[in-house]
Structures are given as structure tokens and as C-alpha cells.
Amino acid sequence: MPSTPSAPGPAATSAHADHSAQITHAAPRRVLPIIVIAQLLGTSPWFAVNAVMPDLLAAHAQSGWPQAAVATLSSSLQLGFIAGTLVFALAGIADRYPARRIFLACTLAAAIATLAAAAMASSYAALVGLRALTGFCLAGIYPVGMKIAAQWFPRGLGAALGWLIGALVVGSASAHALRAIAAGGPAVPWQAVFVVVAALCAVAGLLIVVFVPEPAAGAASARPPVLRLAALASIWRDRRVRASVFGYFGHMWELYTFWVLVPAILATQLAHSVAVSWWSFGVLAAGAIGCIAGGLLARRAGSAHVAAVQLAMSGACCLAAPWLVGAAPALFFAWLLLWGITVAGDSPQFSALTAANAPREAVGSVLTLTNSIGFAISALSIEVFVRAAERMPLADVLPWLALGPALGLIGLRPLLARRG
């Protein structure tokens, strides 16, 4: 889920330098809010297909679409993001060219890919490819947005991290709200969701270019960092790096799969598709509360302890599924909201921990490689659980998501022995 910043460079090194430092006052006051809003709008295409999946299946029922289409379409975006992350890192694109222009180019490309997906949705293969392309473009939006923030706040990215990842969470959820608005009013085709999402994504790029100036000359890195594949060794050899990275892997096993399955979980108690869409938005967006609150608590309790508590709580929500899927509405919705808050709330802390524990000369490489592996895990988890949910009751499937948090907590133990 939110994920760790994946582009190597200042975003990584600044997080390493000062998780608890205050945001510098050198930047104009508007810069951080604009970056947060741009992150929110720029990531809105992430779940566009998931939001309108019932409409897509109904429209193409005669075209032989597989019932597990949501799994393939979701995981294709994840794989596209992985490819984009690695290409951006290997080529050093965000370090060779102005980050603001890269952000604008990727938001416009993601908007075009989203519009093309709406126009070509009758072809399942084309839609899969366009979702992968959208994921590729998102690799130049979220991580590059983090880099822009790091350039402006070289001593305070840690303080801004909860807000930035919270914006990603709300942005990812926004397509569900747009679908609810479209379905709840006068007859509006599902394609309208794609059009609005594409427009919001384009606006994100314009906001960055128009309202966020280039940072001071010394803010950028002196030389483009190189992705060191050998840095992967520190994930296994360094005890503290291994702890934060494996905690993150467990988190990624659960996060995106839960987000993909939220509409199906809600459909067990809600008959109206508009209500499902509104509640899907609410459950996903609730993760922003966990991100922001977790960032504040981490200053006192430490990132490792905050991440562990949230990971344990989301894991407990997985295990409680057999009793709560069919529970009374008040208990059911409280359970889902708690799950939504905690499943994403540990994301900023894993980012900070990995950046702080990685070797200083290879922070960016470790973040990039960890991020890529984490998204590969999420793609596998989505495929496994969505297909399992076709054959088994959700109450029997959801507890197995707790495997990720359980293994993540085991991995985190070395960092829990002291404040992390």
C-alpha cells in the first residue's frame, strides 16, 4: 500500500537522516499541502477498475470474461508498478531530469491510459495491458512525488510521511466514491468514473508544475544514485534491515488483497451497489487515519512498536472474519473500519524503518528492491485469494490473510527489543 518510497535518491537518504526532525521552514507553506493533494489526485487511477467491476462484468457477460477478472486486472497493475519502479531506478530517470516534469509526464500518461481503458474495455486483453501501463505510470507519480517532497524537506520527510502516504490511501480509494456518485444520481455510464479519474490525475501534474517551484540548487543529489543489486544482500545479512523488510513483506501480503476484496466483503451485508461503493471508499480511506496517527505516535513509541501494534491489529481482524462476516451491522462495519485503519497505518513506519536501517550508501537501492518484491508478493496474494473466494466462503478465506501479519511480526522481533 501504500508502499515505501521506491526511487533511490534524496527521498531515501532524507528519511534515513531524520525520522523525528521538524519540517524545515525554508519551503513556502503551500508546498506540502500541494504535494499531498497532488499525491491524492495522482493515485486516483489505482482502483478505477475495481470500483466499476460489477458494471464491467455485467456489460461483458457475453464476452467470456472470467469471474476472477478483478484478480488479473488488479495484479497486472501491481506488476506494471514493479516494472516502472525498476526502470525508473535503473535509468535514474528522476535524477537525470527535473522531478516535477517527470511527475507531470506520468500523470498525463496515466490519464491517457485510463481514458484508453474506458474506450477499449470491450477487449479484456487490452484492458489488462492498459492497467499494467497505468501501474507503470504510477511508478512515476507516487515515488517521484516523494522525491519532490524530499527535495523541499531535506530535514523533515519523516514528519511528512504519514500525510503523504495517507494521501495515497485516500487517492486509491477515491474511485469507489466516484462510482457511488455516478451510480447514485441520474443514469451515468460507468465510463464516467474513468473520465473523472483521468481528469483528476492530469490536474495532479498541473498542480505540481504550477504551484511547486523548483527547489534550491543544493536540494537535489549531487550525482545520480545507481541502483545496486548487491544491496539486496543486506536484506539477508543485516539483522535490522531483515527485520524491517520482512515486516513489510508480511504487510504487503495482506494490504492490497484486503483492498481488492473489500467490495465482496461488504456485499455480504449490503444489497445496493451504491452503498457498497460508499462503504468501500470509507474502509479504504480510513487507512489515512492510521498513517497520520501512526506517524504522530511513532515520535514517542518508535516506528517499530507502532508498526507492530497496527500489524497485529490488522492480523486479528483477519482471524476474526469467521465470526464477523455475518455479525450484526454495527459490529460488522466497526470491524471493517478498524481493519481499514490498521491495514494501511503501518506503511509509513515500514518506510521509515527500512530507510533508517539500510546501509547509508545503499538506502535507495534497498528501498527500490524491497518495494518491488513487496508488490510482487501483493500480486501473488491477490491472485490466490480472489480465486479462492470464488470457490469458498469469504469467512473461510479471509483468516489466511493473517499469515502475512504473523510472519511480519516474527520478522520485526529484533527491532522490538529496543525502540525502533
Q: Over the stretch 257-285, which tens digit does the pLDDT of each residue have? A: 999 999 999 999 999 889 999 999 999 99
Return the sign of the alpha-carbon dihedral for residues 322, 323, 329, 332: negative
The answer to whether residue 225 scores a pLDDT higher than 60 is no
Compute the average pLDDT of residues 327-353.
Answer: 94
Answer whether residue 390 is part of any domain. Answer: yes
Q: What distance in Å separates the CA atoms of residue 315 and residue 404, rounded to the nearest whole number?
A: 8
Tell me the mean pLDDT in the region 195-218. 89
Whole-number pLDDT of residue 111: 98
Q: Is the residue at 79 inside a domain?
A: yes
Identify whether 1 is part of a domain.
no
What pLDDT score was predicted for residue 74?
95
Comparing 125-129, 223-227, 370-374, the range with the smallest average pLDDT is 223-227
Query: How high is the pLDDT of residue 93?
Result: 81
- pLDDT over 70 for what percent of the chain? 85
Within a domain: 2:
no
How high is the pLDDT of residue 352?
82
Domain hosting residue 352, numbered range: 10-416
Residue 232 lies in a domain: yes
Q: What is the pLDDT of residue 346?
A: 92
Q: How many domains does the chain have?
A: 1
Query: Does 4 reside within a domain?
Result: no
Output b/e per residue, 11-49; b: 16+ Cβ within 10 A.
bbbbbbbbbeeebeeebeeebbebbbbbbbbbbbbbbbb
Is 3 within a domain? no
Question: Cell triple for residue 277?
Answer: 461503493
Whole-number pLDDT of residue 215: 72
CATH of the domain at 269: 1.20.1250.20
pTM passes above 0.85: yes
Dihedrals φ, ψ of 418, to 5°?
-145, 165
Q: Which of 55-59, 94-98, 214-218, 393-397 has the lowest mean pLDDT?
A: 214-218
pLDDT beyond 80 at 300? yes
38 lies in a domain?
yes
Q: What is the pLDDT of residue 227?
A: 59
